[in-house]
A and B are shown apart, each in its own frame.
Chain A
Amino acid sequence: MSRTQLLDAHQAPITVQQYFADGDPGPIVAALANVPELMAPTLNFVGAALGPGSVSVRAKELAILRTSVLQGCRYCVHAHTAVALDVGLTTDEIRGLRGDIVLEDAFPEVAERALIGWIDALAGATGPIPDDVWNAARAHWPEHALVELTVTVGATMFLNRFATGLDLPTSAEVVSRLSMAGLA
């Protein structure tokens, strides 16, 4: 179970009760509520970093799910497998990102393979991104897109550590959905 108390609507601090108004807001909000002054800045940042931007939703979800796999975050892999299905990634693409099948078989497009290589260098290693990886990605993605995706990957890594460090539970709804899709 979670390492920290997950606050419910009755325990929610007065400054963040609006996040609980529509029911269970999920474990990230319920955990963050323990430090209410961090709620709005954190969710605003994460929302901007992971939400709609100049980069396609598909590319962002590739970045989020792959980063979560590299960081070994069970909670985020589960949650973003469900999101990936929602935004149209195929089961094979998700399996490829999760390392269950050969990545190249799942992503025949050179541009996406270059992007995944760039994500691996950013989220799965330390140090600067090697020139060949950077240049391969830049051949298909504008510089501003890589800057935006760097923020996306960084915010995802924050969420990975938050969810894993606090051992946040995957919701039963997500587990059920992934089971039905053969991706649990």
Chain B
Amino acid sequence: MTSSAVTEALASGELPGRVWIYSNYHCNLACSYCLTESSPRSERRELTAEQMLTIAIEAKALGFSGVGVTGGEPMLLPWLPETVAEMADHLPVILLTNGTLLGGDRFERAAPLAHPNIALQISLDSHLPDINDMARGPDNFDKVVAIVPRLIVSGIRVRIATTTGGALDDPALDPLRELVRSLGVRDEDHIVRPIVRRGRADERDLGVHAIARDIPSELTIAADGAFWGSFGPTVRAGRLDTDLLLTRTILPLSIPASALLATVRGLPEGADASLGIR
């Protein structure tokens, strides 16, 4: 499989256009359904700023159309906003964050993220503070509801991601949808997705079972290697899941991208590709 084959597959839509990057695994929160068992005590397992920028540059050269940055909590890395801004000079970037590390005096850290090619994706799971905070940690609701309008006023595009154990079109989510609108977030920037039964969610018997074909085949890069899909580098009982591992080699990006394409072409159709996992 060659780089040109990857480029052709991206152009035709055979491969999804987004590359995901796990910048780190540690987090200031410890959410109940976390795929990576992230917490303040997690091993950090960080990529470097140089690696992340190189991934963005090589991704663009291969024909990818966007980058997603997730963790762990990326904003725990002091250099992250400036690096994401540099990456966004090459490709559009979605930065997933819990939004809790930008309050008070730390708000100025978000300044580099006011970039036309950057969107922040912040998690909010319920319009009820107690329900939200049960899964995501104390005071999470108040911090998110406070920070989102400030970010938007500062010129930063914000998306809200809701992770649910129920149906994606459950009317019970309507109050949350209304709350998100009231924060200034457009409906198309409110993403509702299921809990995927991997990592801590699997240990706690939460979420939907998914096989590889159910998970978008987005190339995903972490310190541990390259994976099939952003739900690939999960952690269970302290051990990395290797079932969706593509390669340990992450750069040059053409190596894992080629392995992904070969795997896409070799797998049978999934049992259910309509789970809404994204």
Contacts and interface: CB of A to CB of B under 8 A. Distances in A.
Given A14-B228, A15-B247, A15-B263, A37 B255 contact: yes
Given A15-B262, A15-B263, A36 B243 contact: no
A37 B259 contact: yes
A16 to B, nearest CB: 9
A13 B249 contact: no
B104 to A, nearest CB: 43
A12 B228 CA distance: 13
Contacts of A97: none
Nearest to A12: B243
B241 interface: yes
Residue from A10, A13, A37 with most neighbouring chain B CB atoms (10 Å): A13
B84 interface: no
A34 interface: yes
A14 B246 CA distance: 7
B51 interface: no
A10 B245 contact: no
What's the dominant secondary structure at chain A's contact region? loop
A13 B255 contact: no
Interface residues of B, number: 16
A10 B244 CA distance: 10
A12 to B, nearest CB: 7
Contacts, number: 42
Interface residues of A, number: 12
B233 to A, nearest CB: 12
Given A15-B259, A15-B262, A37 B242 contact: no
A7 interface: yes
B164 to A, nearest CB: 27
Contacts of A37: 246-249, 255, 259
Contact of A36 (B212, B241, B247, B267): B247
Contacts of B267: 14
Interface string A29-55: 000011111000000000000000000
A11 B234 CA distance: 12
Interface in B221-238: 228
Contacts of B243: 10-14
Contact of A33 (B242, B249, B255, B262): B242
29 contacts: A7-B242, A10-B243, A11-B242, A12-B242, A13-B242, A13-B243, A13-B244, A13-B245, A13-B246, A14-B228, A14-B244, A14-B245, A14-B246, A14-B263, A14-B267, A15-B245, A15-B247, A15-B259, A15-B262, A15-B263, A34-B242, A35-B247, A35-B248, A36-B246, A36-B248, A36-B259, A37-B246, A37-B255, A37-B259
Interface of A: 7, 10-15, 33-37
Interface of B: 212, 228, 241-249, 255, 259, 262-263, 267
Given A11-B242, A14-B263, A37-B255, 16 more contacts: A12-B242, A13-B242, A13-B243, A13-B245, A14-B212, A14-B244, A14-B267, A15-B245, A15-B259, A36-B245, A36-B246, A36-B247, A36-B248, A37-B247, A37-B248, A37-B259
